[in-house]
Structure 1
Amino acid sequence: MSIRVGLTGGIGSGKSTVARHLEARGAWVVDADAIAKAATAPLGAAIPSILEAFGSEYVAADGSMDRQRMRARVFQDSSAKLKLESIIHPIVSQQTMAMAAQAGLRPVVFDVPLLVESGHWLHKVDWVWVVDCQPETQVRRVQERSGWSRDSIEAVIGQQASREQRLAAADAVVFNEGVNLQELHSLIDDLAVRFGL
């Protein structure tokens, strides 16, 4: 069986940039967030259960989950968050494993934003890589790319595992702070050689 790495990091940490470079090096990247988004897109696998659990007001006119309304709901209501996760997580888990099975002998990188929070992911990977940076850097990056307000970004950060929790779970840390893209790639390359990717 090929090496399996769980790649995680808080919003705005640069996790997707690290995943893209690992993919360019030949790793088989399985993007759990993309699978979750597909599950809540029009005709997505999670939509019937979302309709049943939350009602039609949480499904947009195009048949996708109304992300803005659902985000507001789960931030205010922890039971709604758990209900949504109980719908989406099994779909993501099943599809990520199905995609990983296609890797052959290539190392598999599971790009999972909530790897530490979910608990069960830690048992499915050989190594955990955490992409880390200062919280203020996270806020700035997300503002620059998405135009979100500071309050919205800090609300998302507050819903994710703390920086300390992620670092405690890490076998390797990619510190994406104060480096340019070439320097970041060098950091990733060094770690990839160390971990046999």
Structure 2
Amino acid sequence: MRVGLTGGIGSGKSTVAGFLREAGAVVVDTDAISRGLTLAGGAAMPAIAQAFGAAFVSTDGALDRERMRALAFSDASAKRRLESILHPLITTEALAQAEAAAGAPLIVFDVPLLVESGRWRPRVARVLVIDCSTETQFARVLQRPGWTHERIEGALAAQASRQTRRAAADAVLWNDGIALVTLRNQVLMLAARWGCETIAAP
């Protein structure tokens, strides 16, 4: 089975992805693919340099992620231009990784903007949304280096609302005010229901 995993910033999606791997799922991480495409020598860098100029390329030839993030948050057209370069490349690589994992009981596409893109729903049998309150999102993300209230507000504005994500979900895990072991057990149980031969929960 192919599953789409998504959730807002600070929801704990990466933690859940780790538990799914523990359960035996193959996780295709589209954020990791995106980072690879924008490293020095990455497949997206020539098109990004042409579209945005040398100012957005760091001295080592990689994408200047902070400069691009600031531009994308403030300029919707720039964000669309970047997405038009990255998204086809990300999709191609993600599907190739999934094909390479053919035969796995569960293939999970970890896609932060799964609901927003509109392209991933037809490619997966189920959508799993990790959810928490907005207050919890702020509290978690503020602990990350370099993140401010303003930057988090920009990230939230660029993402679908919690209600929109939940409406698109086949399953929702509420990751707010619960112990990590409880979340893990919920993930393992869900993975087992969707075909993974999970390891025994403690």
TM-score by length of 1: 0.96
How far apart are 1:146 and its partner, in Å?
3.0
For 2:37 and 2:101, how far apart are their aligned partners in 1?
A: 22
Q: 1:143 corresponds to which residue?
A: 142
Q: 2:132 corresponds to which residue?
A: 133
- Alpha-carbon deviations, 1:63-91, whole Å to 9, x = none? 11111111111112111111000000001
2:50 to 49, 52, 60: 52
1:103 to 94, 101, 104: 101
SS in 1 for 2:40: coil
Q: 2:19 aligned with 1:21, yes or no?
A: yes
Aligned counterparts, 1:16-95, within 5 A = 16-95=14-93
Q: 2:182 corresponds to which residue?
A: 183
TM-score by length of 2: 0.94
Q: 2:161 corresponds to which residue?
A: 162
Where in structure 2 are there 5+ consecutive unaligned residues? 197-202
How far apart are 1:163 and its partner, in Å?
0.6
For 1:151 and 1:76, how far apart are their aligned partners in 2?
A: 12
Closer, same or farther: CA 82–8 of 1 in aligned 2, 3 Å: same
For 2:184 and 2:145, how far apart are their aligned partners in 1?
A: 24
Range 100-109 or range 115-124, more displaced: 100-109
- Alpha-carbon deviations, 1:124-158, whole Å to 9, x = none? 00000000000110111111133411111111011
Q: 2:118 corresponds to which residue?
A: 119
**Runs of 4+ in structure 1 over 3 Å off:** none
How far apart are 1:96 and its partner, in Å?
0.1
Range 163-172 or range 99-108, more displaced: 99-108
Q: 1:194 corresponds to which residue?
A: 193
SS in 2 for 1:131: strand
How far apart are 1:189 and its partner, in Å?
1.8
Range 3-12 or range 63-72, more displaced: 63-72
What's the % identity of the aligned pairs? 53
Matched positions, count? 195
Amino acid at match of 1:129: L
Amino acid at match of 1:82: R
For 2:76 and 2:144, how far apart are their aligned partners in 1?
A: 28
- Note the aligned Cα RMSD (angstroms): 0.9
For 2:146 and 2:181, how far apart are their aligned partners in 1?
A: 26
Where in structure 1 are there 5+ consecutive unaligned residues? none
SS in 2 for 1:196: coil
For 1:112 and 1:52, how far apart are their aligned partners in 2?
A: 26
